[in-house]
Amino acid sequence: MRIAFVGTGNMGSALLAGILAAGQDAGQVHATTGSAESADGLASRLGVRATAVADDAEANRTAVDGAGLVFLGVKPWMLADTAAELTDALADGATVVSMAAGVDLATLAALFPRRPVVRIMPNTPSSVGHGVIALAAAAEVPSATVDELTSLLGGAGLVVPVDERHMPAMIGASASGVAYFFLLAEHMVSAAVSRGLDEDTARRAVAATAEGAGRLLADSPDPAALRAAVTSAGGTTAAGIASFEDDGFAAVVDRAVRAAGDRSLQMETENREG
């Protein structure tokens, strides 16, 4: 299948690398970027055809010509103009896959009438093949297409097909959730440094701790059981956990996940009205 990537930024290139790792022929991929420098870099790194819109006003239309899957990596406010540019250039039966945050399936369907539309929300570890990609497909998208997308995107990480109503929860817990782990790590480093540990040692120790914890979770995705296994009654870990609980850590996390999900719904409304 021919695949097009329109507006291939950092996240788009990460997903494209995953798709190629899953077996897609690079010769059947045409990507567009903003500048010639980024296009050259993409072509050199991944072996795909890449064209800069700065050099070729028809780059996006040329890229989607004959493509069965069209990935859109443009910003939400650019989607309407991109749709107007591409609608009559899309191949019959082409499926449009949007990575734009805060743009729901109804809006995508209105922008691309009579086209199957899919919404995906990846997170940044997709760039190292360990991402989570939430996938919500419109009802008219054939199950075979969803299966193919799931297989292709699997090279970038775990693909989680969801009903669109669950997308805010996925955004709050996963797409935005990566930053929560980084924030925790940031404060762990600061706490260690404030107690006399040098910053380089603290950074390396916390990063390795996060990696190890992630590996354990990947092998056994039951965080409560893993936490209990390392929390001996009256021990050091129990003291730290008790401090978290006394400070209302569970409520803090719940509010963060809810806030991110609610913001995604606000963005959907803004993009519909805009």
Report domain extents, the chain: 3-167, 175-263
- Contact between 47 and 162 under an 8 Å Cβ cutoff? The reply is no
Tokens at 155, concatenated:
């090279």
- pLDDT, position 274: 65
Q: Which pTM was predicted?
A: 0.91
Task: Give pLDDT tens digits along the chain (274 positions).
Answer: 899 999 999 899 999 999 999 899 999 999 999 999 999 999 999 999 999 999 999 999 999 999 999 999 999 989 999 999 999 999 998 999 999 988 999 999 999 998 999 999 999 999 889 999 999 999 999 999 999 999 999 999 999 999 999 999 999 999 999 999 999 999 999 999 999 999 999 999 999 999 999 999 999 999 999 999 999 999 999 999 999 999 999 999 999 999 999 999 999 998 887 6
d(C-alpha 11, C-alpha 153), whole Å: 12
Looking at residue 130, what DSSP letter applies? Answer: -
* The 69-72 sheet, strands edge to edge: 49-52, 29-33, 3-6, 69-72, 95-98, 117-122, 131-137, 157-161
- Contact between 131 and 125 under an 8 Å Cβ cutoff? The reply is yes
Tokens at 80, concatenated:
């309407």
Beta bridge partners of 110: none
d(C-alpha 231, C-alpha 240), whole Å: 9
The fold of 175-263 is ProC C-terminal domain-like fold (1.10.3730)
- Contact between 183 and 138 under an 8 Å Cβ cutoff? The reply is no
Q: Give the SS3 label for residue 69.
A: strand
The fold of 3-167 is Rossmann fold (3.40.50)
Length of the chain: 274
Tokens at 219, concatenated:
């092998």
Tokens at 62, concatenated:
């040329």
Query: Which candidate, 136, 81, 78, 143, places its Cα nearest to that of 105?
Result: 136
